Structure 1
Amino acid sequence: MKNEMKKTLLLLITVLLSANSYSQKDTLNAPKAVLPDVYADPHIAVFGKKFYIYPTTDGTDGWNATSFTCWSSNDLVKWESEKVILDLPKDISWAKERAWAPAIAYKNGKYYYYFSANVNIGVAVSDKPTGPFKDALGKPLAPKGMLKGQMIDPMVFVDDDGSAYLYFGQGNCNMVKLNDDMISYDASKIISIKPKGYNEGSFVFKRNGKYYLMWSEFDTRDPRYSIAYATSDSPLGPFTKADGRTVLKREGVVKGAGHHSVVKVPGKDEWYIAYHRFRIPDGNGYNRETCISPMRFDKDGNILPVDVFEIVKPVKVKGKK
């Protein structure tokens, strides 16, 4: 009888250990990147019934890309190249290289494309989200040396009332309300802040009346590269950092996870975060790949830690042309 009990107990322990092992996250195998080859700093957006990603072309030491591409998807899973939408040597007179970290916004029936070029910020415009885009100013929107830090990583948030705000900067987060033309602003009204841990890659969105300012911490070549955030009742702050609430960070084979953007599925409280990580395998700060993960909130509106191993299921945009 005792032997039978021992066998039964050992069997039960084996089953429990087996079940527990299956429930553990596999941190040695991450989901595939959503874009082929190496792309970084993805700005994700939804226009009509399609999703779009606007990334930095990676793969060169010093990040010396000279053009920007666009990618489109009907479901967040399968992505199609829309090819080059802005070529610095061909389309820009004031910068020829270091094409980094773009962003896009829609207003006035047009698409405004903000981009970093040779450590200046420019703006281009098109009638379509896939371009081609034309330089709107013939000069930088925010020139190199204008403020402390680097003039890179632009992002524009358009509020519910149509007001648009520009966020940019490495080293400091600079914020200013854009004029209605989307290509000018009052430089005397720029607000510069540096939240604890802030490095670059600011991104702003609004949910349930609360404004979220997100950014990347550490250096993009550092495996610890990660995402934090702060909140405010105003698009220009003051912002209060959510201390101890890192949104995205390295885990297992995923390293250098950061420089993100966020998209909301129209008509739903359903959110996704696009970001880059070191290419798997053998990637680094110059060889990064673009990924997407679900992003969720708790009942108090805090952003929950993103699971970089969760696989995104196909998502459809309904009710829009």
Structure 2
Amino acid sequence: MRLTSVLFTALCSLASLAASQAQTAPTDTLHAPPPALPGLYADPHLAAFGDTYYLYPTTDGMAGWGATSFTCWSSKDLVKWRNEGVILDLPRDLTWAAKNAWAPAIATKNGKYYFYYSAAQSIGVAVADRPTGPFKDPLGKPLVAKGQFKGQMIDPMVLVDDDGSAYLYFGQGQCHVVKLNADMVSYDPATVVEFKPPGYNEGSFAFKRQGKYYLMWSEYDTRDPRYSVAYATASSPLGPFTKADHNPVLKGRGVVQGAGHHSVLQVPGTDQWVMAYHRFHIPGGNGYNRETCLSPMRFDAQGNILPVLVFEVVKPTKIKKPTPVARP
């Protein structure tokens, strides 16, 4: 009787697992879910400030990636997005670059918001009092200039660690990381660490979870249908990073092609994670016509990133207000 009960429980567990997998691994790969944003946008950086989510993408849809400005989008639930308009216009707001506005990122510190971006194959930084800008150039020159280091000086990303230290990751063809000064707009060039994980091309993104540092990046070229995302881990934000055994963690499938150049967000107050990325526009898209998507990202018990399903969309998720701490 006991054996029969155990067997019945095991069969129920297997049935439940199979049902769960059936829900998250669709067999129909010809009908992809709609993109998160309307229109052509790529290289999305997803962030959360206060009770609001924000997306900072590259404006897409032109040969040669010739965009000249950046927009910001806001949402209360990760599903309905509002266009907050242009937050940085290169010809209007910069003196050193007028085009090739690519791959932005944002970080906050000192009560300010720091917007890092690619322009004219260099990396700039702009500062604002609000996540939606307006952003102003505090330097009047690139933060990282074209040709300053090996590779192409694009695709910035900043990780602010638990102790307030901030680290800038950047580079196409070669990965670089450097600790920023407290002002968030300067660094010591002599301390830049250069390395290239196996398969690394561009779009580095770093985050920390349960004391472990994760470095993610895009492999292949953004015009290649095989464009995908891989990752490595380390015990320090400066590395050395060891590439995980099971990669890539994001790749196209079926009608979804060119899935990559992502960012990752931990929903505040939870261990729920979301990946923002772009794919070729459906139908008929390519490396110049891409659209932004959001999908859940999960970990196993050992902290390995599980494959992200490009046919799974995020559910409406509001940011919960922190529970007040009762005073004695």
TM-score (norm 1): 0.92
Question: Among 158, 161, 169, which residue is 1:167 paired with?
Answer: 169
What SS does the aligned partner of 1:290 have?
Answer: strand
What SS does the aligned partner of 1:89 have?
Answer: helix
Amino acid at match of 1:180: A
Amino acid at match of 2:41: Y
The answer to whether the Cα contact below 8 Å between 1:293 and 1:306 also exists between their aligned partners in 2 is: yes
Q: How does 1:263-302 map to 2 (within 5 A)?
A: 263-302=265-304
Alignment partners' CA distance in 2, 1:133 and 1:195: 33
Question: Among 203, 207, 210, which residue is 2:209 paired with?
Answer: 207
What SS does the aligned partner of 2:231 have?
Answer: strand
Q: Are 2:209 and 1:217 aligned?
A: no
The answer to whether the Cα contact below 8 Å between 2:269 and 2:322 also exists between their aligned partners in 1 is: no
Alignment partners' CA distance in 2, 1:220 and 1:247: 16
Question: Among 242, 245, 248, which residue is 1:246 paired with?
Answer: 248
What SS does the aligned partner of 2:190 have?
Answer: helix
Match of 2:53 in 1: 51
Match of 1:138 in 2: 140
| % same residue | 71
Question: Among 31, 35, 38, which residue is 2:37 paired with?
Answer: 35
Structure 1 residues 101-151: Cα deviation after superposition (integer angstroms, max 9, x where no partner): 000000000000000001010000000000010001000000000011110
The answer to whether the Cα contact below 8 Å between 1:49 and 1:320 also exists between their aligned partners in 2 is: no
Alignment partners' CA distance in 2, 1:21 and 1:149: 43
The answer to whether the Cα contact below 8 Å between 2:31 and 2:255 also exists between their aligned partners in 1 is: yes
Match of 1:176 in 2: 178
Structure 1 residues 39-89: Cα deviation after superposition (integer angstroms, max 9, x where no partner): 000000000000000000000000000000000000000000000000000
Q: How does 1:96-135 map to 2 (within 5 A)?
A: 96-135=98-137
Match of 2:83 in 1: 81
Label 1:24 to 1:315 Cα distance change in 2 as closer, same or farther (>3 A): closer
Amino acid at match of 1:85: I
What SS does the aligned partner of 1:101 have?
Answer: strand
Amino acid at match of 2:116: Y
Deviation at 1:311, TM superposition (A): 2.4
Q: Are 2:175 and 1:151 aligned?
A: no
Deviation at 1:257, TM superposition (A): 0.1
The answer to whether the Cα contact below 8 Å between 1:111 and 1:129 also exists between their aligned partners in 2 is: yes
The answer to whether the Cα contact below 8 Å between 2:26 and 2:311 also exists between their aligned partners in 1 is: no
Q: Are 2:238 and 1:231 aligned?
A: no
Structure of greater Rg = 1
Amino acid at match of 2:179: K
The answer to whether the Cα contact below 8 Å between 2:37 and 2:292 also exists between their aligned partners in 1 is: yes
Residue segments in structure 2 that go unaligned for 5+ positions in a row: 1-18, 324-328
Alignment partners' CA distance in 1, 2:87 and 2:236: 33
Label 1:82 to 1:320 Cα distance change in 2 as closer, same or farther (>3 A): farther
Match of 1:16 in 2: none
The answer to whether the Cα contact below 8 Å between 1:48 and 1:320 also exists between their aligned partners in 2 is: no
Residue segments in structure 1 that go unaligned for 5+ positions in a row: 1-18
Deviation at 1:226, TM superposition (A): 0.2
Amino acid at match of 1:227: V
Q: Which moved more, 1:289-298 or 1:25-34?
A: 25-34
Question: Among 82, 93, 96, which residue is 1:94 paired with?
Answer: 96
The answer to whether the Cα contact below 8 Å between 2:202 and 2:219 also exists between their aligned partners in 1 is: yes
Label 1:118 to 1:302 Cα distance change in 2 as closer, same or farther (>3 A): same
What RMSD in Å do the two structures reach over aligned CA positions? 1.6
TM-score (norm 2): 0.90
Alignment partners' CA distance in 2, 1:228 and 1:243: 10
Structure 1 residues 243-295: Cα deviation after superposition (integer angstroms, max 9, x where no partner): 33211001010000000000011110000000000000000000000000000
What SS does the aligned partner of 1:64 have?
Answer: coil
Amino acid at match of 2:280: F
Q: How does 1:300-315 map to 2 (within 5 A)?
A: 300-315=302-317
Amino acid at match of 1:107: K
Where do 4+ consecutive residues of structure 1 move more than 4 Å? Answer: 19-24
